[in-house]
Amino acid sequence: MLIHLNEFSFITAYYNDPVKQVTHISYDSRQIKKDSAFFCMKGEHSNGHHHLEEAVLNGASVIIGTDQKLIERAAARYPDCSFGLVEDDREALAQFSIHFYREPDRKIKTIGVTGTNGKTTVAAFVKSLLTQCGIKTGSIGTNGIFSSQEEIVYKKSTPTTPEASDLHAIFSELVNRQNDAVVMEVSSIAIDQKRVAGIEFDTAIHTNISTEHLEYHKTFARYKEAKMKLFDQAHTAVVNIDDEMGRDLVERFTGDLITCSLDRHSGADLIADNCHVSEEGTMFELIVNGQSYLVNSSVYGNYNVHNLLSAIGTALHHGLELNEIIPVLKNIENPKGRFQVIEQYGGRKIIIDYAHTPVALNSLLIEAKKLPHNNMIAMIAGIGIRDFNKMPKMAGTAEGQADSIIVTVDHPGDHDPQKVVDQVMTGFKNPYDQSIFTSLTRKEGVLKALAQSEEGDVILLTSGCINGAQIVKGEYIPHSDETIIKDYFERLEKTKSPGIEQCK
């Protein structure tokens, strides 16, 4: 594509020939190829301006940055390359990407999901419901990139919401695959970093809010306001009014709004009540405009019924009728790692769930205890790349709610795993209780949880991996709870064979 730097309003100055051929966008100088546009992004640990020369030497035809002195100096040194000066590098990346990919977000219905807990689950429910009702829907989020039919192999730039250039490349791919809509998780950090700048969402969804990401936002007020901003760029919204942010959004949002609640006296547009959990899913009463409908769903627990209401509200916004929606709810696909029940090993129920906040953990424990079981073993984790102040609250939430608790570490990052575990342990009233165990890696924690279990037990493996890996000192180390579980029970089965028994 021919790019005319002099035609972009966000470029305050340009140097050398403003017209260049661009075939690729990158903010990583190592990924630059011939005729790439390189954005000198300033991050927490790096400054793209320091890699500007490397980008030029690797073939970049356009360089965009905010440091005027460095840009002018480089422009004089490399006259065959075009340089653009901007005030906001992230806003520029978003607007440039929209133009480069020919506004793919306008060619597909866009649905953004924000909230402390439930983003991945709601996105999966929306994708499943809309697709089964004839609206082919892809998804973008923690579990990966999916078209309506299959996973798209794509190296994500961030765990949840991709950087703007990657995001619009994915939109373009979904359009090419003839998808009608895309549902995506939108994190508070992504909103603050303008990764979704310039997108007019057809629908924004609020799941819930509790304290999270204070290592980035510093205060709860700033965290909440970041999430609220998503609704300033949406035409319609689905809002949970069972928490304070939802009630604030009712006052602030000016578009077409559908509210949802688990309180039948809330006055919400969509209400779920009389929830009954079984091993097959949850049956509940759906109340819409004063009329009740009996729903059989494939989702587990009250909090997932709440998530399902968000999907129902989204379907209504996109022109579907209740008589089309309700029959599909018994076949909603649950996302991997969200109340993912594994039952084929050793007569146990092993539940993998990404619950990584005190609120999510408490909801999970309440629902898991409704399942028939002898003992409950719960593994909880401190996440090294997140807020250390949250870690003790995870211990306080789990204490007294399980027969055995294993404390481990997820994604230690640059931290000593022992310090992460020690921080979690400070939340227990009785950290020396003999039913509490510790481990310094997630793998060891999973193995300890399995070793504590017997037939008829429920094992909860909470928190979890990002993109199938553990983040250790900047490296993504492959990890799979499912593989560890499978290997454990295969070894256990071998030790029970007659030959091995005789050798004991």
pLDDT, one tens digit per residue, over 326-359 is 999 999 998 888 888 899 898 999 999 988 889 8
Same domain, 71 and 106: no
Within 8 A by CB and 6+ apart from 354, the residues are: 120, 142, 337, 338, 360, 462, 463, 464
276 near 285, Cβ under 8 Å? Answer: no
Residue 115, annotated as binding a ligand: yes
pLDDT band at 37, cuts 50/70/90?
very high
Task: Provide the pLDDT for residue 280.
Answer: 86
Residue 110, annotated as binding a ligand: no
Residue 120, annotated as binding a ligand: yes
Same domain, 8 and 66: yes
Same domain, 11 and 114: no
Task: Provide the pLDDT for residue 500.
Answer: 44
Buried b (16+ CB within 10 A) or exposed e, 36-75: bbbbbbeeeeeebbebbbebbebebbbbbbbbeebbeebb
Range of the domain at 347: 340-494
Residue 160, annotated as binding a ligand: yes
Residue 66, annotated as binding a ligand: no
Question: pLDDT by residue (tens digit) across 44-94?
Answer: 778 999 999 999 999 999 999 999 999 999 999 999 999 999 999 999 999
What is the identity of the amino acid at 328?
A: V
Same domain, 122 and 188: yes
Task: Provide the pLDDT for residue 498.
Answer: 59
Q: Of 331, 352, 385, which marks where a domain is finished?
A: 331
Q: Of 88, 110, 128, which marks where a domain is finished?
A: 88
What is the identity of the amino acid at 445?
A: G
Q: Looking at residues 377-383, what average pLDDT do you find?
A: 95
The answer to whether position 93 is within a domain reads no
* CATH code of 7's domain: 3.40.1390.10
Question: What is the 3-state secondary structure of 397-445?
Answer: HHCCCCCEEEEEEECCECCCHHHHHHHHHCCCCCCCCCCEEECCCHHHH
The answer to whether position 10 is within a domain reads yes
Six token digits for residue 443:
């793998």
Eight-class DSSP state of 87: S
pLDDT band at 494, cuts 50/70/90?
confident
Same domain, 32 and 153: no
Q: Is the pLDDT of residue 42 over 80?
A: yes
Eight-class DSSP state of 42: B
Task: Provide the pLDDT for residue 504.
Answer: 36
Residue 29, annotated as binding a ligand: yes
Q: Is 142 helix (H, G, I), strand (E, B) or coil?
A: coil
Q: Looking at residues 429-451, what average pLDDT do you find?
A: 95
pLDDT band at 125, cuts 50/70/90?
very high
pLDDT band at 503, cuts 50/70/90?
very low
The answer to whether position 223 is within a domain reads yes
Q: Looking at residues 15-29, what average pLDDT do you find?
A: 96
Residue 131, annotated as binding a ligand: no
Number of domains making up the chain: 3
pTM over 0.75: yes
The answer to whether position 95 is within a domain reads no
Same domain, 410 and 296: no
Same domain, 158 and 266: yes
5 near 11, Cβ under 8 Å? Answer: yes
Residue 176, annotated as binding a ligand: no
Provide the 10 A C-beta neighbour count for residue 321.
10
Residue 337, annotated as binding a ligand: no
203-to-30, 106, 112, 241, 494 alpha-carbon distances in Å: 36, 13, 6, 16, 53
Same domain, 277 and 202: yes
Q: Of 302, 331, 360, which marks where a domain is finished?
A: 331
Residue 121, annotated as binding a ligand: yes
Task: Provide the pLDDT for residue 384.
Answer: 87
Q: Looking at residues 416-433, what average pLDDT do you find?
A: 95
